[in-house]
Amino acid sequence: MTRAELAQEIQNVKEQIDRQLGARRAGAPGPGTIQELSSITQELSNLAKLLMMGDIPQKSQRWLASVQIVTGAWDFREPLGEAICKIEHLYRHELVEA
């Protein structure tokens, strides 16, 4: 996976999160609190910036704190949670460093 491909995946997930944030603000139930979703969005935005700058850490130093939120507090079958975990997997294991 290239940096551009991962950046696109991140953008897709951020759009899903934005929809969930709108729903939470409107009082609808769903995965994550406003605070959790905002924190995840910020972390994904920071990752997208790193990708654009080409400032990628070594594989042993790649991780997303957002996965802890998803796996610790959300229903494991939640599609948004699965998408966030997929981003971390791609970042940690599939991203080509060149």
The 3-state secondary structure of 29-88 reads: CCCCCHHHHHHHHHHHHHHHHHHHHCCCCCHHHCCCCHHHHHHHHCCCCCHHHHHHHHHH
Instruction: Supply the pTM of this predicted model.
Output: 0.93
Is the torsion defined by CA of 61, 95, 64, 7 positive or negative?
positive
Report DSSP state, residue 74: S
Instruction: Give per-residue pLDDT as tens, 36-77.
Output: 999 999 999 999 999 999 989 998 999 999 999 999 989 878
Share of the chain above pLDDT 70, in %: 99
